[in-house]
Amino acid sequence: MSEQGAGEPATGILQSLRNLATTLVALLQNRLELLATDLEEERIRLLQLVFWAVGALFFFALGALMITILVVLLLWDSHRLAGIVVLAAVFLGIGVFLAIGVRNRMHMQSRLFSSSLDELAKDKDRLASR
């Protein structure tokens, strides 16, 4: 009986190590799945952003072209050169304003993997408190 008694703590430690390894693998799998979800969400967000930006640019350019043609035709007899210069200055001003907006938005990027990083920080805190 003393042999079985000596073997039980070793079995208990091995079982505890197996349980710990199983928990760590499950935790790692969960975090990797969350990371993959974050990547997919970011990819979809970027594709939507590109689609909307291209559409907006196309129709804005088309509208600006039509307005430019209209104004030049209206001013053709009297001040066509002044009309073209004013419209060019307006379009350049709008372009500068939009370029500054793009630059500012590029610096305000969404934090990639934010939910994964938050969950890993929670895991770290939980493990440190034990």
Q: Would you call 96 exposed, middle or buried from its count of C-beta atoms within 10 A (0-12, 13-18, 19+)? A: exposed
Q: pLDDT tens across 1-23, in order?
A: 444 555 566 678 888 888 888 88
Q: Which residue range forms the structural domain that includes residue 7?
A: 2-129
Which stretches within 75-113 are classed as H helix? 80-107
Token pair of 14 as six digits = 């091995």
pLDDT for the residue 2 = 47
Q: Total structural domains in the chain?
A: 1
Residue 81 per-residue DSSP state = H
d(CA 13, CA 6): 12
What separation in angstroms does the CA of 20 have from each of 12, 15, 54, 70? 12, 9, 51, 74
Q: pLDDT tens across 90-113, in order?
A: 888 988 898 888 888 877 766 666
What separation in angstroms does the CA of 83 have from each of 78, 98, 126? 10, 22, 68
